Structure 1
């Protein structure tokens, strides 16, 4: 262990499993004095590699240490550069990601000169930024000798449960390619139910299993076609619309097929008409259409 710790040419792989509860939630302020004295081992990223992304305190303490190192040495830290490189790829208009001594917390800086505390970002922003930066942090701690090539040269295996978690659809469409671009030598094994992620695959050979369905060519297919192959009926319309259409269709079929007198029909199906209309009472056109069809059949205006 000591040999590896001190060997500047020994590469260590990133191994990490990001669970569904990976959304980072701030757990108190960072103590600047204790964080400055904290020592990091190259093996630290393995201590929690199977339960990652629980909070932002660890990365805050590490960034603080890097900021102090830069101030002391008066030279940019390649490890901090790796984090910022990942942050810029994760978020549009992001130009910096680091510890702010005035704020005593991690801040995200933007092109327009503004900055936002990490914990004030939306769930989607914190999820995507936290994921990219945490992978970069682990790579940097494991392989500081790679310098400016930390992200591009570090190898590893990353497991991510529900990669699309909290992500806006436009981020879902690009997250896979962004991970490839920033960490080209890492292998990512992810689960998802997102048609946008499946669509963004380069080839269906990258898709291991899809709810037990046989593998098809999903890349570059339309969202609706992918959803249909995933078992979603009529993905081009909402489930509410589909239910309303089917309910109306069944009731109209009853109107056409029952050979009863108008009085008998009214006595038997008046209550059914009310139950058919009730779930969609906020749609007056639907209600008026069925009531009109019913009136034609029974001669009774409602």
Structure 2
């Protein structure tokens, strides 16, 4: 003995597959902008008719009714779309169709204002128009209606910033050649010029005889060491430091030089008084 639940389930499945959607009285009409009818024919679902041609201002109207089984009552599916497919470019567009509660539907395409979902076309394009209907309680329905020839679409106007999104030329960096070092003779000459003030300083010290030994006292050596630090700072700047670092370190050495120099001048003054 079969279970009552199983019987109900089998009956539901049988009724679902028994109720199929059908298309009744499909028809298309082409009219001019002033309303004159250019062509009006029923759509045959078994025999393909000649392509439908539209002008730049023509209007296409498609009407049909969705029924349950052939000759049954009209039903409203959950969704219905007209698909326009270009077999050459592969572009397609879906346009929803509103179906009333009794299954009747009407779609209108005005070539003067085509919908945004309409695919771009070329002079050789032939659009295949098909109807796709979906329902939760019926098998889906897909039928080919007719071929459609429309004027070629206008090229899309370029955006002012479109050029920024194109591939750009490859950026190539040109590096400067390595810096050339001056000849050894030139380096020696300028090194001698840098050291020349020290030669002059030692010569002046030698003229303070017999008080020369006192110049190396603890009150004068710090100032001399500060001058030597300035020389080392300039060499370091030439090798590695930046200008901001040199100014920072030089400011610190300058403060030290003020105090050590004042002490050294006082000590030299005492030496001069003692030598008179």
Give the TM bin, normalised by the shorter chain: under 0.3
The structure with the largest strand share of the pair is: 2
Normalised to the residue count of structure 2, the TM-score between the two structures is 0.23
Larger radius of gyration: 2
The structure with the largest helix share of the pair is: 1
